[in-house]
Amino acid sequence: MKVELDEPKCVASGQCVVAAPDVFDQRDDDGVAILLEDQPGAELLDDVREAVAVCPAAAIRLVEQ
Amino acid sequence: MTRIVVVGASAAGLAAAETLRREGYTGTLTLVGEEPRPPYDRPPLSKQVLAAEWEPDRVALRTPADLSGLDLDLRLGVAATALDLATQEVWLSDGAQVSYDRLVIATGVRPRRLPGEGAHVLRTLDDALTLRERLGPGRKLVVVGAGFLGAEAAAVAWRLGAEVTLLEPAPVPLAHAVGERVGQVLAQAHVDHGVKLRTGVSVTEVTDEGVRLGTGEEIEADEVLVAIGSLPNTEWLADSGLSVGDGVVCDEYCEAAKNVYAAGDVARWYNPLFETSMRIEHRTNAAEQGMAAARNLLNSEARKAFSPVPYFWSDQYDMKIQAYGYLRGHDEVAVVDGDLGERRFVAAYRTGDRLTGALAVGMPPKAIRVWRQAIVAGASWQEVVHGATTV
Task: Give B274-297 pLDDT, tens digit per residue.
Answer: 999 999 999 999 999 999 999 999
For chain A, say whether B112 makes contact (Cβ under 8 Å): no
Q: Tell me the residue range of the domain where A41 lies.
A: 2-63
Q: From residue B131, how far is each of B46, B54, B125 by CA, in Å?
A: 10, 14, 10
Question: Does residue B109 surpass a pLDDT of 80?
Answer: yes
Structural domain harbouring B59? 3-110+230-302
Is B309 a domain residue? Answer: no
**Residue (of B33, B37, B187, B28) closest to B100 by Cα position:** B28
Answer whether residue B17 is part of any domain. Answer: yes
Q: What is the distance between the alpha carbons of residues B314 and A28, in angstroms, rounded to a whole number?
A: 19
**pLDDT, tens digit, 9 for 90 and up, residues B185-220:** 999 999 999 999 999 999 999 999 999 999 999 999
Q: In the predicted model, is pLDDT for residue A64 greater than 90? A: no
Does the pLDDT at position B318 exceed 80? yes
Do B65 and B133 reside in the same domain of the chain? no
Q: Give the nearest chain B residue to A10 (CA atoms).
A: B44
**B20 plus B76 within the same structural domain:** yes
- Return d(Cα B130, Cα B356) in angstroms, integer: 39
Largest CA distance in chain A: 34
Q: How far are the Cα atoms of B70, B83, B194, B206, B210 from residue B217, in angstroms, in the given order?
A: 54, 45, 22, 12, 11
How high is the pLDDT of residue B46? 97
Shortest Cα–Cα distance, B217 to chain A (Å): 40
Point out the domain boundary residue: B302, B328, B351. Answer: B302
pLDDT range class, residue B158, cuts 50, 70, 90: very high
Q: Are residues B54 and B118 in the same domain?
A: no
C-alpha–C-alpha distance, residues B77 and B97, integer Å = 15
A21: CATH: 3.30.70.20
- Do residue B117 and residue B221 come from a single domain? yes
For residue B387, pLDDT beyond 80: no
What does the pLDDT read at residue B69? Answer: 96
Statement to judge: residues B101 and B123 lie in one domain:
no
**Whether residue B213 is found in the same domain as residue B283:** no
Burial class (CB in 10 A: 0-12, 13-18, 19+), B191: exposed
| Number of domains chain B is built from | 3
Same domain, B234 and B100: yes
Q: How many domains does chain A have?
A: 1
Closest residue by Cα to residue B121 from B137, B144, B139, B138: B144
User: Residue B1: which pLDDT band, with cuts at 50, 70 and 90?
Assistant: confident
Q: Are residues B264 and B287 in the same domain?
A: yes
Q: What is the structure's pLDDT at B390?
A: 87
User: According to the model, what pLDDT value does residue B367 have?
Assistant: 82
- pLDDT, mean of residues B132-151: 97
Q: Can you give the CATH number for the domain in which B369 is found? A: 3.30.390.30
pLDDT at A24 over 80: yes
End-to-end CA distance of chain B: 54
Residue B311 lies in a domain: no
ipTM of the complex: 0.89
Q: Does B311 touch chain A (CB under 8 A)?
A: yes
CATH number of the domain residue B174 falls in = 3.50.50.60
Q: What local confidence, expressed as pLDDT, does residue B366 receive?
A: 82
Which residues of chain B from 358 to 377 reach within 8 Å of chain A, CB to CB?
Answer: 364-366, 369, 372
CA nearest B190: which of B31, B339, B318?
Answer: B318
Whether residue B336 sits in one domain with residue B206: no
Residue of A nearest to B15 (CA): A53
Task: State in Å, rounded, how far the first CA of chain A is from the last one.
Answer: 5
Among the residue ranges B48-62, B312-326, B377-391, the one predicted with the least confidence is B377-391
B145 and B209, same domain (yes or no): yes
- Cβ of A35 under 8 Å from any chain B Cβ? no
pLDDT tens digits, residue range B13-45?
Answer: 999 999 999 999 999 999 999 999 999 999 999
Please tell me the predicted confidence (pLDDT) of residue A19: 94
The model carries a pTM of 0.96
Residues B155 and B26 in one domain: no
Does B388 have pLDDT greater than 90?
no
The pLDDT value recorded for residue B386 is 79
- For residues A2-26, give the mean pLDDT: 94
pLDDT-based confidence at B120, cuts 50/70/90? very high
Out of B242, B276, B302, pick the residue that ends a domain: B302
Determine, yes or no, domain membership for B313: no
Please report the pLDDT score of residue B364 as a whole number.
Answer: 87
Best of B42, B57, B282, B284 to disrupt the A interface by mutation (most A CBs within 10 Å)? Answer: B284
The answer to whether residues B191 and B272 belong to one domain is no
Are B369 and A57 within 8 A, CB to CB?
no
